[in-house]
């Protein structure tokens, strides 16, 4: 269970860092998940839910520089698939937290689009991918795991904002979204 809740109303990295320190968080393990799906295709016909390490022996990258080096090496050889669901990476992060003996981790998901919403999904309902992602976010709130989704494209991001603010079944507010376009265009949606 999480001892402190950290609000999500900060305007700078320094403010976040200070709040984390006040809450007693001195160290956090970072898990980086990169969405390699075809987020902008709405057919939802493929069912790839693969999670893979950046190294064949499944060792972790050390630091952002190593992540970027491996990313650049791997990307030319990847075949994008879909539909997009963040449930598999969230579930993998929960496993990593369990294997660490319950140490706090932060899952940073980098994606170019939100979870797939099929055109057949009725208004007010969730698509199968959305429901699996919501269920994973709720389950992850039982772990010392914070989830940050970084949107690197123009979205759409409306459903991810809903996930950020409107999943009441969570033990704590464990999911945040940050979209680069909001900050670099000074257009807060």
Q: What is the pLDDT of residue 72?
A: 81
Q: What is the 3-state secondary structure (H, E, C) of 137-186?
A: HHHHCCCCEEEEEEECCCCCCHHHHHHHHCCCCCCCCCEEEEEHHHHHCC
3 occurs within a structural domain: no
19 occurs within a structural domain: no
Q: What is the pLDDT of residue 41?
A: 47
Q: What is the pLDDT of residue 134?
A: 92
135 occurs within a structural domain: yes
The pLDDT tens digits for 17-57 are: 677 677 766 666 888 877 765 554 444 444 444 665 666 78
8 occurs within a structural domain: no
Q: How far is CA 182 from CA 6, 40, 77, 127, 151, in A?
A: 22, 19, 31, 26, 9
Q: What is the pLDDT of residue 24?
A: 67
13 occurs within a structural domain: no
Taking 50 as the pLDDT cut, the residues of the chain under it are 1-3, 40-49, 186-189
Here the CATH number for the domain that contains residue 77 is: 3.40.50
2 occurs within a structural domain: no
> For residue 69, what are the domain limits?
27-184
The three-state secondary structure class of 81 is strand
Q: What is the pLDDT of residue 130?
A: 87
Q: How many Å apart are CA 89 and CA 121, to the nearest integer?
A: 23
Residue 58's Cα: distance from chain center in Å? 20
């Amino acid at each position: 269970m999480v001892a402190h809740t950290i609000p999500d109303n900060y305007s700078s990295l320094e403010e976040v860092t200070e709040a984390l320190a006040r809450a007693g968080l001195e160290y956090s393990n970072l898990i980086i998940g990169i969405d390699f799906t075809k987020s902008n295709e709405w057919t939802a016909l493929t069912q790839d839910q693969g999670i893979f390490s950046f190294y064949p022996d499944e060792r972790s990258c050390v630091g952002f520089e190593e992540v970027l080096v491996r990313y650049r090496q791997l990307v030319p050889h990847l075949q994008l698939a879909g539909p997009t669901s963040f449930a598999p990476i969230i579930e993998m992060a929960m496993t990593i937290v369990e294997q660490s003996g319950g140490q706090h981790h932060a899952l940073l998901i980098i994606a170019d689009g939100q979870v797939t919403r099929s055109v057949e999904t009725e208004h007010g309902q969730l698509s199968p991918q959305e429901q699996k992602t919501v269920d994973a976010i709720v389950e992850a709130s039982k772990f010392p795991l914070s989830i940050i989704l970084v949107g690197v494209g123009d979205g759409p991001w409306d459903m991810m904002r809903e996930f950020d603010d409107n999943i009441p079944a969570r033990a704590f507010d464990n999911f945040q979204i940050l979209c680069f376009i909001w900050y670099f265009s000074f257009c807060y949606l």
